[in-house]
């Protein structure tokens, strides 16, 4: 099977150039630049099984969302998107790969959790997928298991300073896990908020009669994210290892990462669309605010431009979604009368690539090359799958978007593909959308219609982070 994408503008993390792209059996076989002054590239006369005309469009590597939670059990319910519905929605929005989080059940082996998540994804995901491993117990057995998982292509382990009694790991456990990655080449990812202190503040708020969703935002001070971020950075420095912060949301945490990188530490971080585009103001309006409950919470509006600055200056390397959708009706409603019982999580997987184009490129905050980098190439490098993923280059998987930078669309729960009954961005008109979404050379979405096969996704074994490698 040979496909030719012609007349497009190839945009990579490095440069933009007029070129035709040939795909053979799912891999990029040639990238042929148009000579200056020429109307066509050397490949224009090539006979292909399918030719896609990308005149006036970008040809970019498909988005990689390295932070998703399909079917995650949380607060007595489950995140609603399955690997099938969630990856399908992701594809509609220009994402061609996800890295989800498998969860170690407390008291069981890492392997037990991994097997469960593998089974959920296999044959159901329509996009290629990898896994990070959430460690619920750090002990001699799970530390030894880490080495085995790294060898099997699951090299990242997430720990929490939040959620006491559920996911929280004390400092000595975090430090032991970090020391293990120094030996096995893996990487520790941190959810950094001071959970025990937040619980004190949240209990005080509820006792004082503040039970609405806004209480969730008020209890989780930015300073408590800054404190935990700095603490984890210092632990990583003591262990001599890189560390990665998921869903960095506040200026306070950004300052901690900025200082760490300034002194040469391998501290890395992502932010999420919700922190770039929404604010704590969205959590008002009575119980409607439950739609916006996630952790860390949405921050005061003035944090947003600091996060964009972080993306521009590479203090933040990439954007993931933390996609973890719960219906407003029947799920978010579990927290009526006590914000602490609202399931934490937001739907965002379908809108990440386009929102970053709209707010970033159209909004004049980042270049189109940086957009490709934070949406695709940096996640591939950060999580050890570059250049198989995240590149328009000979030999790479043909995970490609033909992207219309001018098309406008209106976001709405009535038209989105995520299995959730509301949208965070209801009624927003944004500019930029994918005309064609291709995974390993197979067209999955064309002009907004699903045309791909079921269960197309494959597990991707990943290696050591390019960003954490010194030689």
Residue 225 interacting with Zn ion (CB under 5 A) = no
Across-strand partners of 58? 9, 403
Candidate segments 214-222, 253-261, 320-328, 361-369, binder of Zn ion by CB under 5 A: 320-328
Q: Give the per-residue contact string, 411-450, with Zn ion (x = CB under 5 A; - = no).
A: ----------------------------------------
Residue with smaller CB distance to Zn ion, 322 or 373? 322
Candidate segments 205-213, 288-296, 304-312, 314-322, binder of Zn ion by CB under 5 A: 314-322
Q: Rounded CA gap, 330 and 284, in Å?
A: 20
Number of residues that bind Zn ion (CB under 5 A): 1
At closest approach, how far in Å is the CB of 201 from Zn ion?
22
Residue with smaller CB distance to Zn ion, 20 or 322? 322
At closest approach, how far in Å is the CB of 322 from Zn ion?
4
Hey, is 347 helix, strand or coil? coil
Beta strand 449-450 with 429-439: parallel, antiparallel or unpaired?
unpaired
At closest approach, how far in Å is the CB of 83 from Zn ion?
16
Residue with smaller CB distance to Zn ion, 21 or 102? 102
At closest approach, how far in Å is the CB of 418 from Zn ion?
16
At closest approach, how far in Å is the CB of 270 from Zn ion?
10
In this structure, are residues 346 and 424 in contact, taking their beta carbons and an 8 Å threshold? yes
Candidate segments 35-43, 181-189, 319-327, 393-401, binder of Zn ion by CB under 5 A: 319-327
**Residue in the structure block whose two tokens are 């080495």:** 147
Element (H, E) at 261: helix 251-262
Residue with smaller CB distance to Zn ion, 322 or 354? 322
Residue with smaller CB distance to Zn ion, 43 or 298? 298
List Cα–Cα distances, 326 to 134, 290, 338, in angstroms.
20, 10, 17
Closest C-alpha to 129, from 61, 72, 78, 67: 67
Residue 156 interacting with Zn ion (CB under 5 A) = no
Q: Rounded CA gap, 355 and 329, in Å?
A: 26
In this structure, are residues 125 and 89 in contact, taking their beta carbons and an 8 Å threshold? no
Angle (CA) 308 309 311, round 5°: 65
CB-neighbour burial class of residue 101 (10 A; exposed 0-12, middle 13-18, buried 19+): buried
In this structure, are residues 156 and 186 in contact, taking their beta carbons and an 8 Å threshold? yes
List Cα–Cα distances, 233 to 136, 190, 464, in angstroms.
20, 10, 20
Complete DSSP assignment for 285-345: SGGGGGGG--SSPP--GGGHHHHHHHHHTTSS-EE---B----TTTTGGGGTT-GGGSPP-
Cα atoms in the Cβ-side hemisphere of radius 13 Å centred on 165: 3
In the window 345-364, what residues touch Zn ion (CB under 5 A)?
none
Measured at CB, which residue is nearest to Zn ion?
Answer: 322
At closest approach, how far in Å is the CB of 193 from Zn ion?
12
Residue 322 interacting with Zn ion (CB under 5 A) = yes
At closest approach, how far in Å is the CB of 174 from Zn ion?
17
Hey, is 358 helix, strand or coil? helix
Residue with smaller CB distance to Zn ion, 193 or 322? 322
Candidate segments 322-330, 404-412, 430-438, 443-451, binder of Zn ion by CB under 5 A: 322-330
At closest approach, how far in Å is the CB of 313 from Zn ion?
24
Candidate segments 148-156, 212-220, 223-231, 318-326, binder of Zn ion by CB under 5 A: 318-326
At closest approach, how far in Å is the CB of 297 from Zn ion?
13
At closest approach, how far in Å is the CB of 420 from Zn ion?
16
Residue with smaller CB distance to Zn ion, 65 or 322? 322
Residue with smaller CB distance to Zn ion, 68 or 124? 68
Q: Which residues bind Zn ion (CB under 5 A)?
A: 322
């Amino acid at each position: 099977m040979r496909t030719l994408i012609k007349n497009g503008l190839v945009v990579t993390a490095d440069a933009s150039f007029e070129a035709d792209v040939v795909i053979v059996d799912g891999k990029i076989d040639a990238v042929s630049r148009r000579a200056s002054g020429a109307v066509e590239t050397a490949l224009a006369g090539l006979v292909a099984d399918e030719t896609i005309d990308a005149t006036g469009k970008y040809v970019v590597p498909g988005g990689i969302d390295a932070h998703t939670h399909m079917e995650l059990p949380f607060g007595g319910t489950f995140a609603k998107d399955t690997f099938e519905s969630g990856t399908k929605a992701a594809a509609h929005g220009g994402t061609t790969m996800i890295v989800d989080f498998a969860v170690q059940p407390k008291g069981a082996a890492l392997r037990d959790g991994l097997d469960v998540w593998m089974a959920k994804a296999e044959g159901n995901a329509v996009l290629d997928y990898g896994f990070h491993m959430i460690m619920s117990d750090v002990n001699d057995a799970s530390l030894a298991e880490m080495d085995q998982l790294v060898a099997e292509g699951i090299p990242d382990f997430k720990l929490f300073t939040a959620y006491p009694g559920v996911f929280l790991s004390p400092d000595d456990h975090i430090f032991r896990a970090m020391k293990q990655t120094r030996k096995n080449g893996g990487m520790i990812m941190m959810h950094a908020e001071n959970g025990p202190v937040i619980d004190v503040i949240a209990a005080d708020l509820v006792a004082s009669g503040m039970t609405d969703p806004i209480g969730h935002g008020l209890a989780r001070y930015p300073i408590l994210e800054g404190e935990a971020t700095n603490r984890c950075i210092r632990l990583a420095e003591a262990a001599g290892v890189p560390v990665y912060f998921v869903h960095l949301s506040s200026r306070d945490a950004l300052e901690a990462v900025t200082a760490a990188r300034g002194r040469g530490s391998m501290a890395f971080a992502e932010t999420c669309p919700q922190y770039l585009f929404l604010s704590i103001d969205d959590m008002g309006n009575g119980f409607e605010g439950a739609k916006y409950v996630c952790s860390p919470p949405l921050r005061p509006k003035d944090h947003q431009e600091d996060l964009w600055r972080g993306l521009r200056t590479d203090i933040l390397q990439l954007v993931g979604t933390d996609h973890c959708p719960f219906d407003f009706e029947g799920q978010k409603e579990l927290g009526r009368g006590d914000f602490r019982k609202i399931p934490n999580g937001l739907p965002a997987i379908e809108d990440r690539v386009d929102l970053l184009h709209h707010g970033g490129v159209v909004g004049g905050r980042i270049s189109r090359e940086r957009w490709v980098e934070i949406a695709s190439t940096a996640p591939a490098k950060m999580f050890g799958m570059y250049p198989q993923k995240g590149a328009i280059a000979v030999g790479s998987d043909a995970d490609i978007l033909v992207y219309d930078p001018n098309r406008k669309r209106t976001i709405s729960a009535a038209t989105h593909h995520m299995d959730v009954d509301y949208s965070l961005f209801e009624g927003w008109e944004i500019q930029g959308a994918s005309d064609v979404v291709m995974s390993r050379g197979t067209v999955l979405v064309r002009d907004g219609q699903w045309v791909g096969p079921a269960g197309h996704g494959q597990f991707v074994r990943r290696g050591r982070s390019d960003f954490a490698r010194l030689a």
